[in-house]
Structure formats: structure tokens, C-alpha cells
Amino acid sequence: MSDGSLLALNLAEARDGLARKVFSARELAAAYNDAVAEAKPLNAYITPTPERALAMADAADQRLAHGDGLPLDGIPVAVKDLFCTKDILTTAGSHILDGFHPSYESTVTDKLWRAGAVMLGKANLDEFAMGSSSATSWYGPVENPWRRLGDNRPLVPGGSSGGSAAAVAARAALAAIGTDTGGSIRQPASFCGIVGLKPTYGRCSRWGVVAFASSLDHPGPMGRTVLDVAIMLGVMAGHDVKDSTSALVPVPDFAAALSGDVRRLRIGIPKEYRVDGMSGEIEALWQQGAEWLRAAGAEPVEISLPMTKYALATYYIIAPAEASSNLARYDGVRFGLRVDGDSLDEMYELTRAAGFGAEVRRRVLIGTYVLSAGYYDAYYLKAQRVRTLIARDFTEAFERVDCILTPTAPSAAFIIGENTDDPIAMYLNDVFTVPANLAGLPAISVPAGLSGDGLPLGLQITGRAFDEETVLRVAQILENAALVRHRPSFIAGGGG
Amino acid sequence: MIEGRRGQWEAVIGLEVHAQVISKAKLFSGAATDFGAEPNTQVSPVDAAFPGMLPVINRHCVEQVLKTGLGLAAEINLHSVFERKNYFYPDLPAGYQISQYQQPVVGHGRVNLDMPDGTTREIGITRLHLEQDAGKSLHDKHPSLTYVDLNRAGVALMEIVSEPDLRSAEEAGIYLRKLRSILRYLGTCDGNMEEGSLRCDCNVSVRRLGEPLGTRCEIKNVNSIRYVMQAIEYEARRQIEIIEEGGRVEQQTRLFDAARGITRPMRSKEEAHDYRYFPDPDLLPLVLDPDWVKRLRAELPELPDAKKARLVSEYGLSADDADVLVAEKEIALFFERVAQGRSAKVAANWIMGELFGALNRLGIGIEQSPVSAQQLGALIDLIADGTISGRLAKDVFAEMVASAADPAAIVEAKGLRQVTDSSAIEAAIDTVLAVQAEKVAEYRAGRDKLYGFFVGQIMRATQGKAEPTLVNLLLKKKLAG
């Protein structure tokens, strides 16, 4: 098969091709290594690992030859550079982790490799996963492979898992893993026209994932189809004794849950999500989504999530608070960057000033402020209480409905450099995605249509805790109904 | 009560004791905790706060802190929360210490102090919580660099906070000894202050009798009971002088300078931290199974207060003797083994007299005693059954300490067996009375005092082995007759 036609396969198809020996894992890995090189202008990868990809593919081929293939044998994936990978540079997109080669492998990547997956490289991201544009990386901004019709200005892929999303959309990865703290999987999935799932909090271990905001960080899969994401999640999920917040719940067969049957499911349409400034085409797409689900036999129901309007403010207190503490370990003492000074305090100041970018510094300062004596009650404690109320909104809603349909983001991808002067405008990207992080609920973004200027738009399905199965099943109905046939302007391998 | 230049003062003291939990592994990582290991050899990536590392609570450490709480007759909080205490220092790798703040695992408890005048004082425990220790900064290994040893980073500590119920340095010393004794009974902290297993922060204020509380100063990290007492003594006098001279005590964190016996303010950069405590999002609240707590309560060993009461009631010991014997679990155990089936008073006297004297001379604890409880018991038996005299027994004991041999073997080897053969004693008496014929005449003439002289001579002639009662009986008969 040509590189182009190999790259056109989705994960499920590639898995079947490998099992039937239509092509080898090495051929597939080589094609993807070429694609990674070809996609270099997108800056989706910080560290490609082509040799390791070939070595892992060879090992997969051996197993496949013996007929004892593993669930992801030979599947080439991109790893957001927030996951620690043993002996491979791990940066979190930050200057401060210069030269950091972990001596350990994150639980989620370890599970992928044990399932036979092939590592293509470490994907670019917003520094410490803080951002909605993948433009705050020390390693430069990521470009979205899509372009507006008749407009060649580069667009952001969304963030923070923008490198992962761009790589999957540009066929420079068959699938990817990302993390989602306030929408960092779903918003870039929406911007790049792929599927991204934030599982339930506790479903996938955080061990070995560079922490941004521990109570909000969710590792999750990104892929071309809902089925691909379901297959990935099945491998990534599971209890981990090394993560005290990981859940001791069984891992179902997510792919088997994609029955296509959503009859009699009640789909919540929260009226509070009609926010100011949301474009008419997104509003229209949302209604279209509800119609598709109604046509498939589900029942859209208007619901109320009254606390929604406080979600973004709550998020931007809790996330920076945790981040300010989580990032204290980057002090120049034990690993990464150190800028020497005349005193200990000066060494700290110089190291952290040089090592952290503007957005990270901003959030560390906000977080330090909201935890300070005299402000703790007014900000952090209040935010935690509101967080509880937001979660209660969902609990009450799920007494009436089985999942909730909303847009993923209030806009399509924007031009690189836009929104950078106005952090609040940037933060508004997360307005629909943040509530699921605060409540720890599973939520998926699935490509559902195109904007007037030809950019992908996603719809989001949010479900009950640990009910990824319903979320995936409903998402697949939207995926099939929408049939987004447009493709990005840039596709590796010529799009064969 | 402290006599100032203008009237009487009272010190008000509360202690925060940091006790290292006896545990093979650290509080949130599997790394080892052995004292004295090569620097940075007992450090996991969790302890060194590498990116992506997460803490997992060590169940054994929780069990230890629960035992301690139960041993201090304290409330156990079935729901408690770990929080982060944020500050930057090179020996604090994460930039925060995981500790407990708003919701500690153990609440109010108490410790009873046995005062020298025989009374008892109850000292309140405010709370007890679990936290991680920091590493160690070594400033003296290099002219311009600081070395950091993370072996201790992450080791489990219990912070035991007392109410401000203590009123003098002496009371503080008694409190610390009692607390250490309880911890050792429970096996939850070895109380070894030289190795830093027990460290103490002292909160000290002074007031004139009957007045409200004064401004307190905190003396950080004092590492021996003697130093705690010296630091409090100095600090209380310092504060009294300030007030008597018309000044005001400033709330301060101070250090104890052991070399000079004074307290002085800590460096200013250490002052006024805003620790920004908040619940650690990497850890769920600590929720305890009530049945587990119940089981631990049932399995609690007999503690010093109960043991003392039992030694008094069961063995008929005086309160003072019981106090001495229960101070350490091992001493009490030794005593009970010796006293088993023997006179408790005799056993107690031997332990507190000869044995303690020998151990002190050797500078060792009772666990290393060269004389076992069984051997000391055997020695007491030899006295009781008349094999040796009480006086000779002390020589035998000295030989036991030197050689660790059984008393019976020593008695045999040295021929120390008491002479109870009346004809042998009679012969010895006859010889002595014959040699001392003049004195016999004087005695018979009325100098009664000479009786003791004759006994001494007879004992000398028999190398002390003559059975004293028999000597008396026969001597009186001979002199009379």
C-alpha cells in the first residue's frame, strides 16, 4: 500500500490490516515516521522518536507473526509531551524542564506500550498545558492543518493538546493521547476536526503526568473516529495503586458499547449554554445535533444547569491555585533549568523567571494570590463551594436525562496571535468544556459540521460519572449523521 | 512560680512535639527510612518531587498514629484531610509539605504527669496529626554551596500539640519524659532525640499570677529534654526582664543556642511565612473504618499509668518504686519477670539498687543488661533458700555482671555456699573465743557491746559463709555458758 493509503486508515481499519497481514507494523510505522517529518511545519511534535517507533513496530510484527497480537499492536500514536516517558526528553512545553529525561514511564503510556502501541514522538502543547491555543509552548506555536476558505493565515489547533490534535488531523499520528484540565482535549479536537474524549476523573491514572491542576487533570484519548477513541480508552483506563485518586471500577468494553442504538435515551439541552457572543452557526449546529439524535430515536429535553455561569470563574481560581503549588517543584535545585544567582532566593527568582513563560507566570501568581492569607476564604474556599454546586447541577440533571448535548467551543479555530493580548477572551474558549472538569464527568467532542469559512466544529456529549459507554454511543450517532467529508488543507502523504 | 525583681511570675508553656513514626517506609513513598544511611540513598522520585509523581498514603503510618492517639486517650477523627503547606526551601523538594491542618486525624487527648510531690497533673493534648519530614540542608560541606540530603524527606512524623497547660521547665521535662515513655510503650516512636526522632517546639509566655495570658514566643526545633528545660527557663526569665523593665514581649520565632544556653531570634527571612495551606488534591480525605479503630483500641498494650496502678495493687509496691519501674516498658517487663513467684519488694530493690547501679556504670540500657531477669531471680532464690547470705549475694551479683554467668555456678566455683553445719560453726566459735579469751572475760563482766565483735570475728573466720542465725544461736549459748 502507498504511504498515502496507509495513512488514510483509521485505527480500527489499521488494526484489521495488521491482523490480516495486509501490511506490517514496520511499514505502518515507517509511513507515519515520514508523515511526522512531512508535517514538521505544523510544529506538532517537540520530539519525534522515529527509531523507537521502528523498534516497537518490529516487536509488534514479531507478535503479530506468532498470532499473539496485542490490542494496539503496531498502532502509531503521538504522546502529549506532558506524559513522562522513560529516558525520552519530557518538556511539558516549558524551558524550565530543559534536558529532563525521566527515569520512569507514566502509567497511561506504559499501558499503551504494553498493549503494543508504537510511539511516534512527544507532541507539542501549551506550556504546562496552560492555554487554549498551543501557542504558549517554549518550542513555538502549533499550526492547525486546517485553513479558512480563501485565507492562508495559520490557525491555532486549540489547546492545550494542540500538537496531539494537529498530528491526528494531519495524519501524522493514527491516534494520540492528551490531557484535559479545562477542555484541553475537547477544544483542540473540535478545532482540528477529530474526536477527543475526556474520561471520568479517576478513569485514567495521572501517575507520571506532569501536573497542572491535580483535581482537574484528566488524561484521555484523541482519534479520528469515536470507535478509535473507544479502543484507545479501553487500553488507557484502569485503577492504578500509584494514583490515590484513580478509581477502583471495572473497565468495560467501550467499543462494544457502540451499538448505534440510542432509542429512548433522554438528551439534555441546557438552556444556560446559549452564551453571549456564540455564533449563529454554532447555535444552528447544536440544534442540528439535537435533531440528528431525535431522528435516531433519542429524546432531546431542555434542562437547566443554573450554576453554569460561575463555572469559568470557579475554574480560573481552582486551576491556578493548584498549579501554583504543583509548579513550586520547578526551583532549579534538582532537575531542569537552573539560573545561578548570588543567593538562594535569587537563584529561585532567576530560574523561574527564565524558565516559565508569561501565561504560566500569570497563573502561578493568580494561584498564589487566591490561596494567600486573607483571600483564601473569598476566592479558593468560595470556588470550592461553587464547584460542589456545579456538580450538584449535573447530578440533578442526570436524574432526568442520560447525557447532555452542547457545543464544544463557542467558536471555530482562530488565527495564531489572536486573543493573545486578552487572556479573558482566551479563557472564554473553555466556557463549555470547563464544567465537566469541575464535576469530573466524561465528555467527548465529536466533529459535527463546518463553519461558514470551512473550519471544523465539534459538538460535546457529557455523561454520568463512569458512563463513557453512553457518551461514546451517542457521539457515534452524531459522527455518522454529520459525515464531515471536508479534509484539512494539510494532510501528510498527499491524502491517498 | 518564678521570682522576678518585682513579684511572682508564672510561665505558660505549650509544646509541639514532632515524633518520627516507627515505620520501614516513608509516609507517601516506599523508600526506606533507616537512620545513618549514605546521603540520598533512600530517596524515591516521589520524595524528590519529580514531575508527575504522586503520594500514596502508607497504611502502617496511619495505624501508628491511631495507636498513639488511642494511647493519649484522644478522640479519633474518622474523617481527616491532608493539606499542603507551601514554602520554598531546597530540602523541601515539592515546594510544599504534606501535613494536616484544619482537620487532623486525632483530636483532644491527655497525658497524666506524676509530680515529684506525689500529686498528678493532667496535661491536655490539643491535637495530633501526620505530616512529612523535610530533607536536610548541609551548609558546612562546601565553602559556597549547600548540600541537600533527601534521605529524611518524606519520613512520617506525628506532630503532638499540647494545650498551654505546663507551668514550668520542670513540668515540661516531666511531660516530655512521660510522652516519650508512652510512645515507646506503644512502639510508635523510638523517642531517640540524638537521632532526631523526637524534636520539640516550645511556646512560652509569662504572666503575673492571675493575669491573662501574655504574648508568646516559639522556640523552634529543640532536640533534647535538657535543652527544652534550659530554653524554657531562659526564655521565661528573658520575657520577665523585658516586662519588668517596662518593655513589651514581641511575638517571635526563636532558636535555642545550646552552646550559650540562650534563645535568640531566627533569621528574619524565616519569619512571617504565608504557607497557603489548601487540601492536597493528590490525596483523598483519610476516611477510617471504625472497626479498625475499635480493633486497635482493643489491642492497645498496657500503658505506664495502668501498669503503675497494677504494680501498686498487685505487687504491693510503693507509688515511688512503681514510678521508677514503669518509666520504661523494658524495665517493667524485667521487674515482673524477676518478681514472678518471689518477693516483689526484694526484686524491686535489687533492680533499682544493684542492677541500675551496674547499668549506669556500664552506660547501657536494661535491654543490654548482662544479667538476665531469670539470673537475677535465681540469685534472689539463693538468698531466700539460705544458700548464700545477702552480703555475699552482692559479690555474686558483681561477678554476674562481669561474667554473665549463672549465680549458682559462681557460688559453686568460688565456694561461697553458706555454712549451715552447726558443728563447723561451733568449731569456728570455739577457736575465736579461745583466741579472744580476754574479751570473753570482759563480755561476761558486762561489756555487752563486744557481742558484735565476736560475730565479726566468726564471720571473718568463715569467710562470711556462716549462716548468721545459726552463728547467733550458738554464740549466745557458748558465751552464756
Query: Any idea which residues of A carry the catalytic annotation?
Result: 80, 160, 184
> DSSP states of A268-307 as a string?
EEEGGG--TT--HHHHHHHHHHHHHHHHTT-EEEEE--GG
**pLDDT for position B269:** 42
Nearest CA in chain A to B278: A371
Instruction: Tell me the pLDDT band of A208, cut-offs 50, 70 and 90.
Output: very high
What residues contact residue A488 under an 8 Å CB cut-off, 6+ apart? A144, A145, A146, A147, A169, A170, A192, A193
Which has the minimum average pLDDT: A378-387, B281-290, B458-467? B458-467
- CA of B81 to nearest chain A CA: how many angstroms apart? 13
Per-residue pLDDT at B1 exceeds 80 = no
pLDDT at B271: 56
Contact assignment for A244 to B282 by CB distance below 8 Å = yes
The CATH code for residues A3-264+401-495 is: 3.90.1300.10
Q: Report, as an integer, the average pLDDT of A155-168.
A: 97
pLDDT, tens digit, 9 for 90 and up, residues A448-475? 999 999 999 999 999 999 999 999 999 9
pLDDT of residue A495: 62
- Which of left, alpha, beta for A131 (phi over 0: left; psi -120 to 50: alpha)? left
* First and final C-alpha spacing in chain B: 68
The chain B residue lying nearest A381, using CA atoms, is B278
A-chain residues near B283 (CB < 8 A): 244-245
The answer for residues whose C-beta is within 8 angstroms of residue B297's C-beta and 6 or more apart is B70
Q: Tell me the DSSP string of A377-400.
A: IIIIIHHHHHHHHHHHHHHHHTTT
Distance CA B52, CA A179 (A): 13
Q: How many whole angstroms separate alpha carbon B245 and alpha carbon B225?
A: 30
Backbone φ and ψ of A48, nearest 5°: -70, 150
* Inter-chain CB proximity B86 and A104 less than 8 Å: no
Interface of A with B (CB under 8 A): 83-84, 90, 92, 97, 100, 102-104, 106, 206-211, 213-215, 241-245, 321-322, 324-325, 328-329, 331, 333-335, 344-345, 348, 368, 371-373, 376, 380
DSSP string for B103-139: S-SB--EEEEEE-TTS-EEEEEEEEEEEEE---EEE-
**Whole-number Å distance between alpha carbons of A188 and A123:** 13
Which chain B residues have a beta carbon less than 8 Å from that of A96?
Answer: none
Residue of chain A nearest B286, judged by CA positions:
A244
∠ Cα B34 B37 B40 (to 5°): 105
Task: Convert the pLDDT of each residue in B204-256 to its tens digit.
Answer: 999 998 899 999 999 999 999 999 999 999 999 999 999 999 999 998 899 99
CA–CA distance, B76 with A490 (Å, rounded to integer): 63
The answer to whether the CB atoms of B281 and A92 lie below 8 A apart is no
R_g (Cα) of chain B, nearest Å: 30
Kindly report whether the peptide bond that precedes residue A304 is cis, defined as omega within 30 degrees of 0.
no
- Alpha carbons B256 and B239: distance in angstroms, whole number: 15
Give the pLDDT confidence of B75-104 residue by residue, as tens digits.
999 999 999 999 999 999 999 999 999 999
* DSSP reduced 3-state for B199: strand
Angstrom CA distances, B320 to A280, B49, B115, B183, B326, stand at 89, 51, 11, 22, 10
A156, A414 contact by CB (below 8 A): yes
Does residue A494 contact residue A7 with C-beta atoms inside 8 Å? no
Q: Work out the minimum CA distance from B248 to partner chain A, whole angstroms.
A: 26
* A215 neighbors A322 (Cβ within 8 angstroms): yes
State whether residue B86 sits within 8 Å of chain A by CB. Answer: yes
Q: Which of residues 357-386 of B touch A (CB under 8 A)?
A: none
Q: State the Cα–Cα distance between residues A308 and A310, nearest whole angstrom.
A: 5
CA distance A102 to A117: 20
B14 CA to chain A: closest CA distance, Å? 25
Length of chain B: 481
| List of chain A residues whose C-beta atoms are within 8 Å of the C-beta of residue B56 | 241-244
Sign of CA dihedral B476, B479, B480, B481: positive
Interface touch A210/B53, C-beta < 8 Å: no
- The answer to whether residue B50 neighbours chain A at the CB level (below 8 Å) is yes
Beta strands in A93-246 (DSSP E): 118-123, 175-180, 195-198, 218-223
* Cβ-count burial A219-258 (b if 16+ within 10 Å, e if not): bbbbbbbbbbbbbbbbbbbbebebbbbbbeeebbebbebb
Is the CB of A90 less than 8 angstroms away from the CB of B51? yes
* E-state strands within B163-261: 198-208, 217-222, 252-257
Q: In this structure, what are the phi and psi dihedrals at residue B27, rounded to the nearest 5 degrees?
A: -70, -40
Q: Does A368 sit within 8 Å of B45, measured CB to CB?
A: no
Task: Give the C-alpha separation, B418 to A423, whole Å.
Answer: 100
- The helix/strand/coil state of A147 is coil
Cell of B353: 539498687
Q: How many CA atoms lie within 13 A of A114 on its CB side?
A: 11
Q: Which residue has the higher pLDDT, A61 or B433?
A: A61
Name the residue with cell 456564540.
Answer: A278
Chains A–B, number of C-beta pairs less than 8 Å apart: 98
Minimum Cα–Cα distance from B275: chain A residue: A372
How much is the pLDDT for B195? 82
CA dist., res. A215 & res. A18, Å (int)? 39
CATH says B422-480 is which class? mainly alpha
Q: Which of B120, B474, B33, B65 is nearest to B288 (CA)?
A: B65
Residue of A333, A343, A384 for testing the chain B interface, max B β-carbons within 10 Å: A333
CA triple B144-B150-B155, angle to 5 deg = 145
Q: How far apart, in Å, are the Cα atoms of B58 and each of B26, B43, B132? A: 7, 16, 11
- Residue boundaries of the structural domains of chain A: 3-264+401-495
Is the model more confident about B474 or about A10? A10
Of B45, B86, B88, the CB nearest to A348: B88
Nearest to B92, CA basis, from A155, A344, A75, A169? A344
Q: Under DSSP, is residue A472 helix (H, G, I), strand (E, B) or coil?
A: helix
pLDDT band at residue B13, thresholds of 50, 70 and 90? Answer: very high
Q: What are the pLDDT digits (tens) for A394-413?
A: 999 999 999 999 999 999 99
pLDDT at B415 over 80: no
Give the largest CA-CA distance in chain A.
70
B217 min Cα distance to partner chain A (Å): 21
Is pLDDT at B267 greater than 60 in this prediction?
no
User: B18 CA to chain A: closest CA distance, Å?
Assistant: 24
Partner residue facing A333 (CB), from B53, B57, B90: B90
pLDDT at A428: 83
DSSP B339-396: HTTS-HHHHHHHIIIIIHHHHHHHT--GGG-SS-HHHHHHHHHHHHTTSS-HHHHHHH
How would residue B68 be classed by pLDDT, with cut points 50, 70 and 90?
A: very high
